[in-house]
Amino acid sequence: MSTDTNQAIIRRVFEDFLNAGDMAVPAEVISPDFVDHNPMPGQPAGSDALLYVYNTLHDAHSDMSITIDEMLAEDDKVAVRWTLRGINTGEMFGMPPTHQQTTMEVIVIFRLADGKVTDRWAQMGGPSI
């Protein structure tokens, strides 16, 4: 796949799934053998991982939105620097809600094969309130 195609697939994950809630996206773009090298606490393995991430982020933040700040692609990898914004109204990672505006910055590298996301590596900055 071309780097443009890989970027379009990753953009769908963020825009159509994480932001717009299109629940068909994970089945279309996540490999059944997906490996998350930096899973969230309690995150299941395989293709169910993305739904767990969605639920964790949305359960913890009302009015949540994710902005892609930067996206770079080379060969079979796509790197994304993104920012989550929302009101922290639910527990996340064992921390009680603050009911304050939260900003969380994340850098993620995805690997794709045959039009499917196969791997994810992430570095998450702590939420700023």
Query: In this structure, what CATH number is given to the domain that contains residue 33?
Result: 3.10.450.50
Q: What is the pLDDT of residue 123?
A: 87
Percent of the chain, pLDDT > 70?
96
The pLDDT tens digits for 81-123 are: 999 999 999 998 888 999 999 999 999 999 999 999 999 999 8
Structural domain includes residue 129:
no
When divided into structural domains, the chain yields a total of 1
CA distance to 71, 76, 80, 120, 127, per residue, from 14 (Å)? 11, 18, 10, 14, 19
- Give pLDDT tens digits for 38-54: 999 899 988 889 999 99
How would residue 127 be classed by pLDDT, with cut points 50, 70 and 90? low
The answer to whether the CB of 29 falls within 8 A of the CB of 20 is: no
Gap between the Cα atoms of 108 and 19, Å rounded: 17
pLDDT of 34 strictly over 90:
yes
Structural domain containing residue 67: 3-124
Lowest mean pLDDT among 14-23, 71-80, 87-96: 87-96
